[in-house]
Amino acid sequence: MKSVCLIVLFLLMSISVAGYAQTAPVMPAAPVAPDITISHKIHHVVIIWLKQPGNEEARQQYIDASLPLAKIPGVLSYTVGAPARIKHERENPALDESYDVAVSSFFASEQAYEAFLKNPLYLKLAQQLLRPLVDKYKVYDFVE
């Protein structure tokens, strides 16, 4: 679990470095109740382990089948790919390359993300094409 969290942290840092995420605001000294009337942009990160680990054909099948999700209203960005497998000069125990596919998507608002989860295209692709390929997955959602 720790290694998956570090992967997500790495992905988020990469997004930030690429200029896609804003700098986090400085938090006030005293806790402040969230304003539920403000709509926040949502980042949705999914780490996926396939039933056929390391199988390039199954990986590509998942990637290709998921690409139409980028066209659902409210999706501002949709990126899907495989572990980078970058050679490092020294071993990093925090690096987890055991997964097969990662998805990073960005939604205009909480409402857009909730609508995405109910969208008929998403439901059809997830049920008929994507989930049959998946052994397990982890989801990390956060607000901007």
Torsion of CA 114, 78, 139, 84, to 10 degrees: 180
- What does the alpha-carbon distance between residue 28 and residue 12 come to, in Å, rounded to a whole number? 23
59 close to 135: Cβ distance less than 8 angstroms: no
134 falls within a domain: yes
How does pLDDT run across 44-87, given as a tens digit for each residue? 999 999 999 999 999 999 999 999 999 999 999 999 999 998 88
124 falls within a domain: yes
72 close to 121: Cβ distance less than 8 angstroms: yes
- Asked which of 25-34, 81-90, 125-134 is least confident by mean pLDDT, the reply is 25-34
31 falls within a domain: no
- What does the alpha-carbon distance between residue 53 and residue 26 come to, in Å, rounded to a whole number? 41
Backbone Cα Rg of the chain? 17
Range of the domain at 49: 2-17+39-84+94-143
25 falls within a domain: no
8 falls within a domain: yes
Which pLDDT belongs to residue 31? 58
- What does the alpha-carbon distance between residue 3 and residue 19 come to, in Å, rounded to a whole number? 24
- What does the alpha-carbon distance between residue 84 and residue 86 come to, in Å, rounded to a whole number? 5
- Asked which of 19-33, 39-53, 60-74, 93-107 is least confident by mean pLDDT, the reply is 19-33
Residue corresponding to tokens 């896609």:
20
CATH number, residue 100: 3.30.70.100
24 falls within a domain: no
30 falls within a domain: no
32 falls within a domain: no
Residue by residue, DSSP assigns 65-90 as HHGGGGGSTTEEEEEEE-------SS
Look at the chain and report how many structural domains it folds into: 1
> Whole-prediction pTM value?
0.71
pLDDT > 50? residue 101: yes
